[in-house]
């Protein structure tokens, strides 16, 4: 039997991560939050009590760590106490007993160099199995529009990227069992089991509006048949 994690009491003495200044660019809101990618991943991956999908979550060995804390733009972790991480305002690897499973960085003019150098080394040192980088410009900030690394014997090895055409390429995340896709400067997630994309907010809204339109058409047809 699986026991549901209990959220720490608000009065409990929880060691928290320090506050960090927010990013000063719009890339995360535009390419991660506005399309609702964290929500789409969370719904797809399931197990909401033990699966964490969050943006801009500090990661370190412990909250009191003086230096070296990293803040990925997107983090996924399985089989963890989600409530405890939220209560600490960060992911303490020593307390969780494992590192996050997946992290992704969205390139910007001010962060790109560190994404390819310092963060790549730092995430490897933390033992994070997969590290992905997404550059909406197609390679102006990062070396390429999409890159992924898989940890092997403590070192990141590149994940193959499949180029479909000039505007679409993708790489397979074994951790998520999804394709991470760069498509027309947008981030997408493709489920290989169904060959369908995880739904963005706009996708879901389009579906809702189409369903409402079909209902109105059916109602109009029913009225026509009742009143010939």
Successive 10-residue mean pLDDT values, the chain, 228 residues: 42 82 85 93 93 96 93 97 94 97 94 91 98 95 94 96 95 98 97 94 69 75 76
User: Which pLDDT score, from 0 to 100, does residue 2 have?
Assistant: 38
CA dihedral 109, 113, 114, 115 (to 10 degrees): 80
pTM of the model: 0.85
- Going by C-beta distance under 8 Å and a sequence separation of 6 or more, which residues neighbour residue 41? 53, 76, 176, 189, 198
Helix (H) or strand (E) holding 172: strand 168-173
User: Which pLDDT score, from 0 to 100, does residue 205 have?
Assistant: 63
Asked if 92 contacts 64 with a C-beta cutoff of 8 angstroms, the reply is no
């Amino acid at each position: 039997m699986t026991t549901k994690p209990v959220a720490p009491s608000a009065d409990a003495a929880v060691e928290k991560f320090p506050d960090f200044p927010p990013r000063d660019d719009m890339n995360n809101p535009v390419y991660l939050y506005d399309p609702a990618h964290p929500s789409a991943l969370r719904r797809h991956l399931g197990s909401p009590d033990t699966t964490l999908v969050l943006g801009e979550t500090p990661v370190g060995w412990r909250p009191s760590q003086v230096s070296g804390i990293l803040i990925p733009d997107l983090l996924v972790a399985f089989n963890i106490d989600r409530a405890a991480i939220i209560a600490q305002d960060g992911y303490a690897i020593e307390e969780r007993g494992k590192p996050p499973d997946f992290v992704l960085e969205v390139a910007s003019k001010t962060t790109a160099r560190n994404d390819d150098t310092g963060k790549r080394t730092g995430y490897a040192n933390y033992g994070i199995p997969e590290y992905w980088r997404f550059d909406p410009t197609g390679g102006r900030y990062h070396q390429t529009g999409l890159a992924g690394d898989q940890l092997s014997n403590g070192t990141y090895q590149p994940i193959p990227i499949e180029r479909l055409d000039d505007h679409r390429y993708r790489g397979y995340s074994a951790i998520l069992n999804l394709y991470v896709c760069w498509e027309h400067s947008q981030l997408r997630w493709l489920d290989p089991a169904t060959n369908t994309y995880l739904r963005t907010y706009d996708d879901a809204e389009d579906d809702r509006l189409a369903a409402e339109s079909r209902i109105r058409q059916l109602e109009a047809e029913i009225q026509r048949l009742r009143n010939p």
